[in-house]
Amino acid sequence: MRADAKRNRDRLVEVAREIFREQGYDAPLDEVAKRAGVGPGTLYRHFPTRENLIDAVMQAWVDQVNEAADKALTHEGGPRERLMAWFEDYTDRLRSHRGSAAKITAALGDESSPIAGKCQIYSAANARVVETLREEGAVRDGVDALQVLRLVGGVATVADQGSLPADAVRPMLEVVADGVLR
C-alpha cells in the first residue's frame, strides 16, 4: 500500500472510531469521510462495507483481549475475583464504543458475521478464563463458555443502552459470576 493510501486508511479508522464512539455504529459514513478529509470514494475503496470499517475500528481493542484474559487469570484473589476481573474488563471493552456491545454479542457464534473473527478472539479468551477456572474445580457442571460470554454481553448491552455507571453494572455481573461458579 502506498504511504498516502495508508495514511488515508489510518485516518479513516481513527475518525470512524471517534464518530462511532459519539454516535454509534449506525452513524453516516459520509460524515466519516468528510471529517477524515477524504472523498466517499476513498472511504469505500478502503472499506467497501460498513462492516469492513467496523471490523477495522474494532481491531485495535480486540488485540488487547488475550492480554486482558491473562491479567484476569493472574488477578489476586480467588476464582470469583478473577472471573469478576475478566467480566468487568470485557464489559468495559464492549462499552468503549457506543452500540458495540449489542453488535458483538449478537454476532457471537455466528460464523457468517463480518466480525466473526473478532468474536472468535473474544470467545477463545473467555473460554480460556472459564476453562482455567473449571480445571481448578471452581466452575459448575454444564456451564458453557459461549453462553457465559453471551450473558456478560447482554449485561454490557443493557449498560451501554442505559448509560449505566460501573457501580450499577457490577451487581449484574456478580449474579452471572455466582451462576457460573460452584
Dump pLDDT digits (tens) for 30-89. 999 999 999 999 999 999 999 899 889 877 667 788 899 999 999 999 999 999 999 999
Dump pLDDT digits (tens) for 95-105. 887 888 999 99
Determine the Cα–Cα distance for residues 16 and 32; give it in Å rounded to an integer: 6
Q: Looking at the structure, do residues 52 and 72 belong to the same domain, yes or no? A: no
Determine the Cα–Cα distance for residues 20 and 98; give it in Å rounded to an integer: 7
Side-chain half-sphere CA neighbours of 167 within 13 A:
0
Domain of residue 75, residue span: 63-180
Q: Looking at the structure, do residues 40 and 73 belong to the same domain, yes or no? A: no
Cα angle for residues 108, 85, 61 (degrees, 5° grid): 50
Dump pLDDT digits (tens) for 130-179. 999 999 999 999 999 999 999 999 999 999 999 999 999 999 999 999 99
Residue 143: its pLDDT value, please? Answer: 98
Q: Looking at the structure, do residues 25 and 83 belong to the same domain, yes or no? A: no
Q: Which span out of 7-16, 95-104, 117-126 was modeled with the highest average pLDDT? A: 7-16
Residue 58: its pLDDT value, please? Answer: 79
Residue 61: its pLDDT value, please? Answer: 66
Residue 129: its pLDDT value, please? Answer: 98
Residue 25: its pLDDT value, please? Answer: 85
Q: Looking at the structure, do residues 40 and 68 belong to the same domain, yes or no? A: no
Using the 3D structure, point to which of 12, 40, 57 is the last residue of a domain. Answer: 57
The DSSP element (H or E) to which 80 belongs, if any, is helix 79-95
Residue 116: its pLDDT value, please? Answer: 87
Residue 21: its pLDDT value, please? Answer: 85
Determine the Cα–Cα distance for residues 30 and 39; give it in Å rounded to an integer: 8
Residue 164: its pLDDT value, please? Answer: 96
Place of cell 500500500: 1
Task: Give yes or no for residue 112 having a pLDDT over 70.
Answer: yes
Using the 3D structure, point to which of 57, 82, 97 is the last residue of a domain. Answer: 57
